Amino acid sequence: MEYETPQFFRVIQYAASADRDVVDMVSGSPDWNPPDSLREGLHEYADADPGDFQYPPSVGLRELREELATRRGVDPQQIIVTNGTGEANHLAMAGGLDAMPGEEIILTDPVYPYYAGRANHLGAETTFVPVTEDGHADPDAITEAASEDTAVIVVNSPNNPMGVTYSADTIERLVRVAENNDALLVSDEVYDHFDYAGRFESALAVDSDHRIVTNAFSKSMAITGWRVGYAVFPDPDGPNGNLLDEARTRHMLTNVTGSRPPQAAVLHALRHTDPDYYEGVRDLLRERIAAFTDALDAVDAEYTEPEGAFYVMARFPGFSGTFESVERLIDEAGVAGMPGEAFGEARADWIRFSLTTDRVETAADRLVEFFG
Contact 79, 222 (CB under 8 A): no
- Please count the other Cβ atoms lying within 10 Å of the Cβ belonging to residue 188: 28
Candidates 132, 215, 220, 146; CA nearest to 178 is: 146
Contact 218, 28 (CB under 8 A): no
Select 251 or 315, whichever has its Cβ closest to its own copies: 251
Applying the rule CB under 8 A, the residues between 107 and 146 that interact with its own copies are 114, 117-118, 121
Select 255 or 293, whichever has its Cβ closest to its own copies: 255
In angstroms, give the least distance from the CB of 52 to its own copies.
8
339 binds its own copies (CB under 8 A): no
- Rounded to whole angstroms, how far apart are CA atoms 142 and 223? 33
CA torsion sign, 305 to 310 to 313 to 314?
positive
Select 48 or 205, whichever has its Cβ closest to its own copies: 48
241 binds its own copies (CB under 8 A): no
Applying the rule CB under 8 A, the residues between 246 and 265 that interact with its own copies are 249-250, 252-262, 265
Entry field: residues in the chain: 372
DSSP state, residue 188: E
- Please, how many CA atoms are within 13 Å of residue 201, restricted to the half-sphere of its CB? 15
In angstroms, give the least distance from the CB of 86 to its own copies.
4
In angstroms, give the least distance from the CB of 3 to its own copies.
9
Kindly tell me which residue out of 222, 285, 360, 364 binds its own copies, with binding defined by CB under 8 A: 222
Candidates 320, 321, 293; CA nearest to 306 is: 293
Select 146 or 212, whichever has its Cβ closest to its own copies: 212
Contact 220, 193 (CB under 8 A): yes
Select 59 or 164, whichever has its Cβ closest to its own copies: 59
- Rounded to whole angstroms, how far apart are CA atoms 248 and 243? 9
275 binds its own copies (CB under 8 A): no
In angstroms, give the least distance from the CB of 221 to its own copies.
9
In angstroms, give the least distance from the CB of 247 to its own copies.
12
Helix (H, G, I), strand (E, B) or coil at 352: strand
Site string for its own copies, 31-50 (x = CB under 8 A): xxxx----x--xx-xxx--x
Select 281 or 289, whichever has its Cβ closest to its own copies: 281
Select 48 or 290, whichever has its Cβ closest to its own copies: 48
In angstroms, give the least distance from the CB of 113 to its own copies.
10
- Rounded to whole angstroms, how far apart are CA atoms 51 and 45? 11
Angle at 187 between CA 292 and CA 248, to 5 degrees: 130
Candidates 71, 65, 86, 75; CA nearest to 263 is: 65
The number of angstroms, rounded, from the C-alpha of 264 to the middle of its chain's C-alpha atoms is 23
Select 265 or 270, whichever has its Cβ closest to its own copies: 265
156 binds its own copies (CB under 8 A): no
Contact 196, 160 (CB under 8 A): no
Number of residues that bind its own copies (CB under 8 A): 53
83 binds its own copies (CB under 8 A): yes
Radius of gyration of the chain (CA): 20
13 binds its own copies (CB under 8 A): no
236 binds its own copies (CB under 8 A): no
226 binds its own copies (CB under 8 A): yes
- What residue ranges bind its own copies (CB under 8 A)? 4-6, 27, 29-34, 39, 42-43, 45-47, 50-56, 83-84, 86-87, 90, 114, 117-118, 121, 222-228, 249-250, 252-262, 265
